[in-house]
Amino acid sequence: MTNAIDTSGTIALSTRAAVAGSSRRTTLHAILLLISFTLLNINEASASSKSIDLLKLYAHIQIVSANEYKCLDTLWTHESNWNHLAKNKKSSAFGIPQLLKMTTKNPIEQIDLGLKYIKARHQTPCKALDYFKKRGHY
């Protein structure tokens, strides 16, 4: 699969197996790049359902496993409903993953930090979700 970005910023995908260097990873990187540029336009006052869908797609591409993504979606939907400006009334937790003392308002950085935290503390999103179900936090 190869990709090309036209002058309007749209990515056109086509299958050309004979092209050297074409791969799923290249396509995914192009999609991530497009999502990153699109998400820069998220208004700090709100997050539309379209931007939330793009954030979810970004997270899913990072995780790859459909089952692990479902666990992450369940966890972060409960924590913040994927709102990058969500604040916890009882602690300093903030953002999509509701990490303590998080200061960035950039949703991509929040997702990256949240996934890094889950990997370091729980190894996988499903293990983090199991922990959350037992203790009410992760």
Query: What does the pLDDT look like over 8-20, one tens digit per residue?
Result: 444 444 434 444 4
Contacts of residue 55, Cβ cutoff 8 Å, sequence gap at least 6: 39, 47, 82, 84, 96, 107, 108, 111
**Same domain, yes or no, for 61 and 96?**
yes
**Same domain, yes or no, for 3 and 29?**
yes
What local confidence, expressed as pLDDT, does residue 64 receive?
85
Contacts of residue 32, Cβ cutoff 8 Å, sequence gap at least 6: 58, 61
**Same domain, yes or no, for 88 and 138?**
yes
**Same domain, yes or no, for 99 and 36?**
no
Cβ atoms of 72 and 63 closer than 8 Å: yes
What local confidence, expressed as pLDDT, does residue 2 receive?
43
**Same domain, yes or no, for 117 and 71?**
yes
Q: How many domains does the chain have?
A: 2
106-121 average pLDDT score: 96
Q: Which domain holds residue 2?
A: 1-41
**Same domain, yes or no, for 100 and 128?**
yes
Rounded CA-CA distance 45/51 in Å is 13
What local confidence, expressed as pLDDT, does residue 74 receive?
98
**Same domain, yes or no, for 57 and 124?**
yes
Reading the block at residue 95, the tokens are 């953002």
pLDDT in tens, 58-104: 999 999 899 999 999 999 999 999 999 999 999 999 999 999 999 99
φ/ψ region of 21 (left if φ > 0, alpha if ψ in -120 to 50, else beta) reads left
What local confidence, expressed as pLDDT, does residue 77 receive?
97
**Same domain, yes or no, for 134 and 86?**
yes
**Same domain, yes or no, for 62 and 106?**
yes
Decide if pLDDT at 35 tops 90: no
DSSP helix/strand/coil, 77:
helix
Task: Please give the share of the chain, as a percent, with pLDDT higher than 90.
Answer: 59
